Amino acid sequence: MTEAAADHVLIVDDDADIRELTAEYMRRQGLQASVAADAREMRAVLASSRIDLVVLDLMLPGTDGITLCRELRAPGQPHLPIVMLTARSDEADRILGLELGADDYLTKPFAARELLARIRSVLRRTRMLPPNLAAQEPARVLAFGDWRLDTTARHLLDASGAIVALSGAEYRLLRVLLSHPQRVLTRDQLLNLTQGREAEVFDRSIDLLVSRLRQRLGDGVREPRYIKTVRNEGYVFSEAVTPA
């Protein structure tokens, strides 16, 4: 039996000391590690190698990490786990990165041991999801009941066409539910698909998020039309979903 290949991590950082020392540490811990100093080098490595996870610094010269995160999450791209590196003052960029689909973040300066733990955690969470629950890019506009979700503008539209504001977390949850209608999703699956790292800390936060989303949709508590509770299992989006 052939031994499984080690996970391959790409470290994208313009600081040569950080990327080389981090890559060497990862190799000593049994991972493969490649490095890139900027967007051009990152794209070259991704084009020539099988990469399992990207460690992405937000403060890159030229094309910054936020732009690259958006590029990696563009429609049609396979889901590649991302751990962001941010400065302590970059809270707004960190939040934006998570909104764009990064799986975790770590603030600088960081310990290589902690980064390794984050990498392994993200890879484990990604692989625990059944293959048919992998992140998918839905159609541009999804229709369900009296509602439409514009996944490009990230707008929820009611029957009259008026925009109903959604938080980033509410949008992510709704998009996941619309991608898997009529299928029971456990709380762990929903947390992993929508919240990443925070799921390990706030293991019941999905219930609060579902409650908020139900309010946005005008769903009744006792007999909800859209998001139904399945006792001892999780939630199911019960309405038909069609491309609009």
C-alpha to C-alpha distance for 66 and 168, rounded to whole angstroms: 16
Pick the closest to residue 81 from 135, 29, 36, 31 (CA basis). Answer: 135
- Owning domain of residue 93: 8-128
C-alpha to C-alpha distance for 209 and 159, rounded to whole angstroms: 23
- Residues 112 and 162 both lie in one domain: no
What pLDDT, on a 0 to 100 scale, did the predictor assign at position 240?
Answer: 92
- Residues 174 and 96 both lie in one domain: no
C-alpha to C-alpha distance for 130 and 141, rounded to whole angstroms: 25
Pick the closest to residue 241 from 146, 136, 165 (CA basis). Answer: 146
Please report whether residue 134 resides in a domain.
Answer: no
Question: With 50 as the cut, is the pLDDT of residue 209 above it?
Answer: yes
- Residues 178 and 117 both lie in one domain: no
**How would residue 1 be classed by pLDDT, with cut points 50, 70 and 90?**
very low
Instruction: Please answer whether residues 149 and 175 qualify as being in contact, where contact means their C-beta atoms are separated by less than 8 angstroms.
Output: yes
Question: With 70 as the cut, is the pLDDT of residue 204 above it?
Answer: no
Question: With 80 as the cut, is the pLDDT of residue 136 above it?
Answer: no
Pick the closest to residue 82 from 96, 95, 98 (CA basis). Answer: 98
- Residues 122 and 69 both lie in one domain: yes
Please report whether residue 171 resides in a domain.
Answer: yes
- Residues 115 and 209 both lie in one domain: no
Count structural domains, the chain. 2
**How would residue 155 be classed by pLDDT, with cut points 50, 70 and 90?**
confident
Q: Which residue has the higher pLDDT, 113 or 5?
A: 113
- Residues 91 and 158 both lie in one domain: no
**How would residue 121 be classed by pLDDT, with cut points 50, 70 and 90?**
confident
Amino acid present at 124: R
Distances (CA, A) of 104 to 101, 107, 197: 9, 10, 6
Averaged pLDDT for residues 82-105: 75
Question: With 70 as the cut, is the pLDDT of residue 195 above it?
Answer: no
Question: With 60 as the cut, is the pLDDT of residue 217 above it?
Answer: yes
- Residues 112 and 200 both lie in one domain: no
Q: Which residue has the higher pLDDT, 172 or 130?
A: 172
- Residues 161 and 113 both lie in one domain: no
Distances (CA, A) of 147 to 1, 65, 155, 243: 52, 34, 11, 12
- Residues 12 and 120 both lie in one domain: yes
